[in-house]
Chains A and B, each alone.
Chain A
Amino acid sequence: MTSFPFPRRSPVRISFGIGLAILTVFGLVPAVGVLVVSFTDLRGLPYLPVNWVGIDNYVTFFSPSKWPDSLNALQNTIIFALASTVVQIVAALGIALLLNRPLRGRNFYRAVVFMPTVLGVTVTGLVWSLMFNVSGGPAKSVFALFGAHSAFFGDPHLALSLVILVQIWMVVGVSVIIFLAGLQAVPEELYEAAAIDGATAWKRFRWVTVPMLAPSITANVLLGIVNALQSYQLTFVLTGPNNHSTQVLSLLVYVQGFGGASGTTLSQSQGYASAVSMVQFVLVAVVSLIALVILRRREAKL
């Protein structure tokens, strides 16, 4: 005899059914569609014939003529994901620890930290474009105080770092919230017991806070990695679609699928873009799985 916590099963089935149907129509079907399209030369324009090209698009991605661009995008994606995730986690943990202490105006500070997340990509892009405006933005004035100057988002050596900085600024609020929730679940007695045993503040952090926060760290790292590996909107808004120094894989997908390069006869190819996005999917899946396995093992040890 099975037991069930609700009086009837039908509402549950209906609501699950709706959820499943939405997920299937808007998630699963397009995902399978992208896989199929990656074996065609679909151009995304009506009237143009669509041909089955087998694995041509994948061969092209790894071909000698496209590989330097592909490699550049892969490198930028990995740097972007690693740097933004690591810095974001460290910064978020620091901010969360600070905001978890009894502090006057704590809720106000929490709201301030979370606010950039609410602003969205376009507003964030606009704000930081103005901050780093080369013809009179605040950053230019600060640089000028030290007699320095920079093209900021136009500087090929600096652009990616700046985009990473803005990305962290934009998403750190979510990580802070997750850490705060985790911190508030740590029983006070553990700290008291550690203090009675003579543990220093660092030891209390290392041997009480971190182990108890392990599930939050796992969630944040995974969210951070997946988010960063897929992110292109901010890069697009801040540095444009064709900037070699900031071109990440998802941006390559966008340019190939929907843009070509402005001012050229290059045609768009959604077939090729789909192949690139499948490569990206494999990358995201592999990196996320490895991270998940490592973090779960670590959680168990802690």
Chain B
Amino acid sequence: MATKKLRGRSLAQRLAAGAIAIATVGALAACSSGTSSSSGDSGPSGKLQILVSSADASDAAFRAVDAAFEKKYPKVNVVLSSVSNDNYPATKSSRLTAGNVDLFVVKGMWETPSYAKSSESDDVRLAKAGGLLDLSKQSFMKKYTPTVLSAQAIGGKQYAVPTGVSYSTGIYYNKAVFQKYGLSVPTTWDEFTKVIDELKAKGVTPFGVGGKDGWPAGLPMLGSVGSLYPSASDKKALAKSLWTNETKLTDKLPTKVLDQTETVLENAQQGAAGAGYDSIPAGFAAGDYAMVPDGTWNEPTIASAVGSKFDFGYFPFPGSDDAKDNAYLNGKIELQLAVPTSSKNQTAALAWLKFFSQASNYKGFLEKSGFSSAQPDISTSAFLKSIAPYTEKYQPAWDQIWVANNKAGQDAVYPFNYPALKPLGSSTPEQAAQAAQTAWAAAF
């Protein structure tokens, strides 16, 4: 084989070779993130990037608003990104870091109590650090219900538009099945267990639960806390006494929350732990089960699955033996939209929020999303009217009050340890409560 001794190379040649290499890497690494901004002088224009966490109904509602907005402002190109709940924080983080989002959903936006300051949510930190635009003085904020706004105020300021209110502690029921077996809507825990037993005796599966996604199996837990700790002050007192370790998760009432959750889970359809949340409306419509613990946000999807096959209704989870405690649905402020200060098109973002907040547009959004109104004097859908007696008084759900401890283990996140219950996990309510208490106590 022919070989050749190499010539020595000049410094210039080496530098040139290095420069070429670096330039090549630079070219490979370069990525464009061109976000056009608005001109500002003749109304909004350019690209408006919106990031939301997805649900079929709210996605459709946002798309309708976007289309109407583009029609009014033809120079604006709205790009809606809808990301699943599990992937949302990661996407939000990268989009904010890249600075290519103008409007996005913030979560956990409520003032953290002093006892839990170390566990402030990301978005509250973001707001306090100046990462979100202060919307307090924007005229469209005046359209929203003051009590809703005060529930999401951080340091007395408003950082997000509440797109609506949803109730998460109710149960959909098949009216035809209830009528067929002479059952009435249960208002106490005793009546509820009788309904469950009666349905089972007739060979009807009581509940449909999408356990594979995890959180849907936590809705009965929210319902149970909602009725065992009926008022907002009861829930706040519970949260504080857990953080100060005066109440233990193994105490009688907290264990009862897990007992009641287990009652629902053990009476759910076969394979509930492996069933996806999206498959539940179809199963309910097919008559596979008579009841579904779900939020009001899913009503449009359930209604379209059921069609005209039968009528369905919605009642609050009756966890207490006193019907008065079970009288109200507990809710949450739905997708809260904030403008990051890094937004390159704040003009369009604010114009979109103003447009969204106008009564006619907002009404259209509510119809499609299934959310209850966060603005006063907006008439709601027939379904929401039917549950009006349960929503007269806005009661925040447990997950709107509880601040999880970042230092505690996974068993104490909610902190009622429903993921450990059978069939999602393999524990009894007592074992799950014990595991939660151990994980919780170890954090202090």
A binds B: yes
B28 touches A22 (CB 8 A): yes
Residues in B whose Cβ lies below 8 Å from that of A21: 21-22, 24-25
Q: How far is the CA of A65 from the CA of B17 in the complex (A)?
A: 54
In this complex, what residue of B is CB-closest to A2? B5
Closest CB-CB distance, A153 to chain B, in whole Å?
5
Interface of A is mostly: loop
Contact, CB under 8 Å: A47 / B130: yes
Residue pair A156, B424 in contact (C-beta under 8 Å): yes
Whether A184 is near chain B, meaning CB under 8 Å from some CB there, is no
Interface flag for A49 (CB, 8 Å): yes
Judged by a CB distance under 8 angstroms, whether B89 is at the interface is yes
Q: How far is the CB of A115 from chain B (nearest CB, A)?
A: 26
In the complex, are the beta carbons of B410 and A154 less than 8 A apart? no
Give Cα A102–Cα B28 distance, bound, in whole angstroms. 46
Q: Assess whether A68 is interfacial by the CB under 8 Å rule.
A: yes
State whether A149 touches B88 (Cβ < 8 A). no
A155→B423 contact, CB < 8 A: yes
Question: In the bound complex, how far is the Cα of B130 from the Cα of A258, in angstroms?
Answer: 21
Q: Is B316 an interface residue (CB 8 A)?
A: no
12 additional A-B residue pairs with CB within 8 Å, beyond A135-B279, A262-B85:
A14-B17, A17-B21, A45-B96, A46-B97, A135-B275, A151-B211, A156-B426, A241-B86, A244-B425, A254-B90, A259-B86, A261-B413
Question: Once the chains bind, are A151 and B89 in contact (CB under 8 Å)?
Answer: no
Known A63-B442, A65-B439; judge A5-B93 contact (CB<8 A). Answer: no
0/1 string, A213-249, CB within 8 A of B gives 1:
0000000000000000000000000011111110000
Contact among A4, A22, A48, A240 for B125, CB-based, below 8 A: A48
B122 lies within 8 A of chain A by Cβ: yes
User: Which residues on A sit within 8 Å (CB–CB) of B89?
Assistant: 258-260, 262, 268
The residue on A at minimum CB distance from B112 is A265
A72 to chain B, nearest CB (A): 8
| A150 touches which of B271, B341, B406, B411 (Cβ 8 Å) | B271
Are A8 and B6 closer than 8 Å at their CB atoms? yes
A242 smallest CB distance to B (angstroms): 6
The interface residues of chain B lying within 8 Å CB-to-CB of A4 are 3-6
Q: Which residue of A lies closest to B414 (CB)?
A: A264
B186 within 8 A of A: no
In the bound complex, residues from chain A placing their C-beta under 8 Å from that of B24 are 18, 21
Contacts of B399 in A (CB 8 A): 263-264
> B271, A149: Cβ atoms under 8 Å?
yes
A152 and B215: CB pair below 8 A? no
Is A48 in contact with B5, judged by CB distance below 8 angstroms? no
Cβ–Cβ contact A265 & B119, under 8 A: yes
Q: Roughly how many angstroms separate A135 CA and B279 CA in the complex, as a whole number?
A: 8
Does B195 count as interface, using CB distance less than 8 angstroms? Answer: no
Digit string of B122-140 for contact with A (CB within 8 Å is 1, else 0)?
A: 1001100111000000000
A157, B25: Cβ atoms under 8 Å?
no
Closest to B129 in A: A47
A101 interfacial contact with B, CB 8 Å: no
Nearest 3 CB-CB pairings of A with B = A154-B274, A154-B273, A134-B271
Name the A residues within 8 Å of B439 (CB-CB): 65, 68
Residues of A within 8 A of B88 (CB): 262
CA–CA, A132 and B214, complex, Å: 17
Query: Quick check: B3 and A44 within 8 Å, CB to CB?
Result: no
> Which of chain B's residues have a CB closer than 8 A to the CB of A181?
none
Q: How large is the interface on B (under 10, 10 to 19, 20 to 34, 35 or more residues)?
A: 35 or more
**Binary contact readout B67-105 vs A (1 if CB under 8 angstroms, 0 otherwise):** 000000000000000000111111001001101000000
What residue of chain B has the Cβ atom nearest to residue A60's Cβ? Answer: B407
B403 partner, pick from A17, A135, A265, beta carbons under 8 A: A265
List residues of chain A with CB within 8 A of the CB of B420. 244
Taking a contact as CB atoms under 8 Å apart, the answer to whether B90 and A259 are in contact is yes
A69 at interface by CB-CB < 8 Å: yes
| Known contacts A2-B5, A9-B9, A259-B90; A135/B271 CB under 8 A | yes
Residues of B within 8 A of A13 (CB): 17
CB distance from B218 to the nearest CB of A (A): 7
Residues 32 to 62 of chain A near chain B (Cβ within 8 Å): 43-49, 60
How many residues of A sit at the interface, in one of the four size bands?
35 or more
Question: Is B6 in contact with A9, judged by CB distance below 8 angstroms?
Answer: yes
With both chains docked as a complex, state the minimum distance between the C-beta of A91 and any C-beta of chain B, in angstroms: 26
Considering only CB atoms, which chain A residue lies closest to B279 in the complex?
Answer: A135
- CB B402 to nearest CB in A, in angstroms, measures 8
A111 at the interface (CB under 8 A from B): no
Within the assembled complex, what's the spacing in Å between the Cα atoms of A43 and B120?
Answer: 12
A64 CB to closest chain B CB (Å) equals 4
CB-nearest residue of chain A to B422 = A156
Chain B residues lying within 8 Å of A263, measured Cβ to Cβ, are 85, 215, 218, 399
Asked if B108 CB lies within 8 Å of chain A CBs, one says yes
A267 at the interface (CB under 8 A from B): yes
Instruction: Tell me which residues across on chain A come within 8 A of B342, comparing CB atoms.
Output: 46
User: Which chain A residues lie closer than 8 Å to B93 at the CB level?
Assistant: 44-45, 258, 268
A135 to B218, CA, bound (A): 21
Contact among B13, B213, B407 for A240, CB-based, below 8 A: B213
Q: Is B409 an interface residue (CB 8 A)?
A: yes
B212 touching A153, Cβ below 8 Å: yes
User: Could you give, for residues 2-18 of chain B, a 1 whenever the CB lies within 8 Å of some chain A CB and a 0 otherwise?
Assistant: 01111101000100011
Is A204's beta carbon under 8 Å from chain B? no
Give A252's nearest chain B residue, CB to CB.
Answer: B410
**A242 and B214 contact, Cβ closer than 8 Å, known pairs A2-B5, A7-B4, A45-B96:** yes
Does B408 sit at the interface, judged by CB under 8 A? yes
Across-interface contacts of A150 in B (CB, < 8 A):
271, 274
- Complex interface bits, A273-292 against B, C-beta within 8 A gives 1, otherwise 0: 00000000000000000000
Contact B3 A267 (CB under 8 A): no
For A254, list chain B residues within 8 Å (CB). 90
Cβ of B97 and Cβ of A25 under 8 Å apart? no
| A66 at the B interface (CB under 8 A) | yes
Given contacts A134-B275, A157-B426, contact A265 B131 (CB under 8 A): no
Q: Chain A residues with Cβ under 8 A from B413's Cβ?
A: 261, 264, 266
